[in-house]
């Protein structure tokens, strides 16, 4: 029952993703309303950490690269206090001290130290075309794809690192440091393919936003640029599929987190203490996620070396979150951080937490506020990309008719 969409270069076989397509209008409108609310629009982030991998000189001087921050006094007291006290609950073992950031063993990303950074109103800093491009942007993407190859990171020949056994078992194509930006071949294991799909889907989603909210530098007008979308995404049908793939992965995480998210306290004032009202939009989003979030996480990390592979998967994803500090454009870095944190939160929920851990009664402080905010905003980004794809499909159909 796969439906084939044949509309020139914008074609994809939706199969598993078809159900996501069918609910996306509803999903997008709920998410769009939800991310405008105070709980979900304020994100605390330290955008000025040094790039840990290379000397980053590519700062974007474009006006669109800048962001506006919010004075902390505008943020409800409760969220400020809550984040600080939650950080303090981490013990030395759980918290790996790194300059300006930390992670717990189960985390798939480095989180900001909550005592540093600024609050940003995400609704005032939309992710769109900024003009950030050239060697700096390419270096970041290239290191996300190439420097983080499975079986390669942190290893030197003869090292007694336990990852060596994984390295030896890898197909030749994965041992190259200059892996081409293409879908892995069929020899690659499921986990490696999933890793690539996640990154490529994120990249395609960001490209879709850039093309959807593009600045025509001749006329100075903002609007969708069909040719940009065709060049960057639609000419590579697999990239489009990976946007769906990420959306399904995030929905599955939201579905699993349903009881936890429903019990979360979204009120910013102490007058609502104990009265954890779940926003109506979120209830609907959880319902949709439970109906269509059909990602089967139990298929992953099952075979030989499963635990080593999982550890490496996690370390690579943490590296991706640190590579975000090398993005030379504040607004791109902000959204890069939001989305890598959102995907990392989903991965943690899918691969690290069992039903007991997800139980809000036994584990009320499971996620930091920034993780919940990032997860929902990231799902919103992907859902918006799928909505934009439809707009581009219509634009393409019109061009076709005219020819």
Write out the residues near ligand FAD by the rule CB under 6 A.
127, 129-130, 132-133, 137-138, 140-141, 181, 200, 203-204, 206-207, 210, 232, 239, 327, 331-332, 335-336
Minimum distance between the CB of residue 33 and ligand FAD, rounded to whole angstroms? 22
Are 59 and 328 a contacting pair, CB within 8 Å? yes
Of the pair 17, 132, the CB lying nearest ligand FAD is at 132
Angle between helices 237-256 and 18-34 (to 10 degrees): 60
Catalytic residue from among 51, 60, 267, 332: 332
Task: Quickly list H helices, 219-324.
Answer: 226-229, 237-256, 258-263, 280-292, 306-323
Of the pair 246, 312, the CB lying nearest ligand FAD is at 246
Of the pair 253, 332, the CB lying nearest ligand FAD is at 332
The C-alpha angle 181, 235, 64, rounded to 5 degrees, equals: 80
Of the pair 206, 292, the CB lying nearest ligand FAD is at 206
Rounded Cα distance between 330 and 247, Å, is 25
The secondary structure element, H or E, covering residue 338 is helix 330-351
Of the pair 30, 214, the CB lying nearest ligand FAD is at 214
Rounded Cα distance between 199 and 243, Å, is 10
Rounded Cα distance between 144 and 16, Å, is 27
Contact residues for 91 (Cβ-Cβ < 8 A; gap 6+): none
Of the pair 237, 259, the CB lying nearest ligand FAD is at 237
Rounded Cα distance between 171 and 19, Å, is 35
CB-CB neighbours of 20 under 10 Å:
23
Minimum distance between the CB of residue 155 and ligand FAD, rounded to whole angstroms? 24
The token pair at 241 is: 């599929």
Minimum distance between the CB of residue 10 and ligand FAD, rounded to whole angstroms? 15
The token pair at 263 is: 């019990």
Of the pair 56, 352, the CB lying nearest ligand FAD is at 56
Three-class DSSP category at 119: strand
Catalytic, 60? Answer no
Task: Quickly list H helices, 129-213.
Answer: 135-142, 164-169, 172-175, 190-212
Minimum distance between the CB of residue 140 and ligand FAD, rounded to whole angstroms? 4
Give 153's DSSP letter. T
Of the pair 26, 238, the CB lying nearest ligand FAD is at 238
Minimum distance between the CB of residue 51 and ligand FAD, rounded to whole angstroms? 12
Give 386's DSSP letter. H
Catalytic residue from among 65, 101, 149, 329: 329
Minimum distance between the CB of residue 277 and ligand FAD, rounded to whole angstroms? 33
Residue the block writes with tokens 């400020």: 80
Question: Going edge to edge, which strands form the sheet with 118-121?
Answer: 42-45, 118-121, 69-70
Minimum distance between the CB of residue 28 and ligand FAD, rounded to whole angstroms? 19
Catalytic, 332? Answer yes
Closest CA to 190 of 201, 202, 198: 198
Minimum distance between the CB of residue 353 and ligand FAD, rounded to whole angstroms? 26
Are 248 and 290 a contacting pair, CB within 8 Å? no
Catalytic residues: 329, 332
């Amino acid at each position: 029952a796969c439906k084939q969409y044949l509309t020139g270069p914008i074609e994809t076989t939706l199969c598993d993703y078809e159900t996501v397509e069918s609910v996306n209008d509803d999903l997008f409108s709920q998410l769009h309303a939800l991310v405008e609310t105070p709980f979900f629009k304020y994100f605390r982030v330290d955008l000025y950490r040094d790039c840990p991998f290379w000397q980053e000189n590519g700062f974007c001087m474009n006006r669109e690269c800048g962001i506006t921050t919010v004075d902390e006094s505008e943020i409800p007291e409760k969220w400020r206090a809550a984040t600080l006290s939650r950080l303090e609950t981490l013990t030395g073992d759980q918290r790996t001290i790194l300059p300006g950031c930390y992670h717990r063993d189960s985390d798939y990303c480095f989180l900001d130290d909550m005592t540093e950074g600024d609050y940003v109103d995400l609704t005032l800093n939309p992710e769109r075309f900024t003009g950030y491009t050239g060697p700096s942007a390419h270096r970041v993407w290239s290191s996300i794809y190439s420097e983080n190859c499975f079986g390669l990171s942190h290893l030197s020949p003869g090292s007694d690192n336990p990852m060596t056994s994984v390295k030896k078992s890898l197909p030749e194509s994965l041992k190259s440091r200059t892996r081409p930006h293409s879908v892995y071949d069929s020899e690659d294991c499921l986990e490696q393919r999933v890793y690539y799909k996640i990154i490529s889907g994120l990249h395609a989603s960001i490209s879709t936003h850039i093309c959807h909210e593009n600045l025509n530098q001749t006329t100075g007008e903002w609007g969708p640029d069909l040719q940009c979308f065709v060049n960057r995404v639609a000419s590579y049908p697999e990239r489009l599929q990976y946007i769906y793939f990420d959306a399904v992965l995030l929905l599955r995480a939201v579905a699993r987190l349903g009881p936890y998210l429903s019990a979360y306290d979204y009120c910013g004032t102490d007058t609502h203490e104990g009265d954890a009202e779940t926003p109506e939009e979120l209830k609907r989003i959880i319902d949709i996620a439970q109906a269509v979030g059909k990602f089967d996480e139990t298929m992953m990390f099952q075979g030989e070396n499963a635990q080593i592979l999982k550890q490496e998967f996690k370390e690579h994803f943490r590296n991706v979150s640190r590579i975000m500090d090398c993005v030379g454009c504040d607004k791109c870095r902000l959204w890069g951080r939001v989305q890598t944190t959102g995907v990392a939160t989903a991965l943690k929920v899918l691969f690290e937490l069992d039903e007991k851990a997800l139980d809000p009664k036994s584990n009320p402080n499971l996620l930091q506020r920034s993780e919940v905010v990032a997860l929902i905003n990231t799902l919103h980004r992907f859902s918006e990309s799928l909505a934009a794809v439809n707009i581009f499909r219509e634009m393409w159909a019109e061009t076709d008719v005219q020819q």
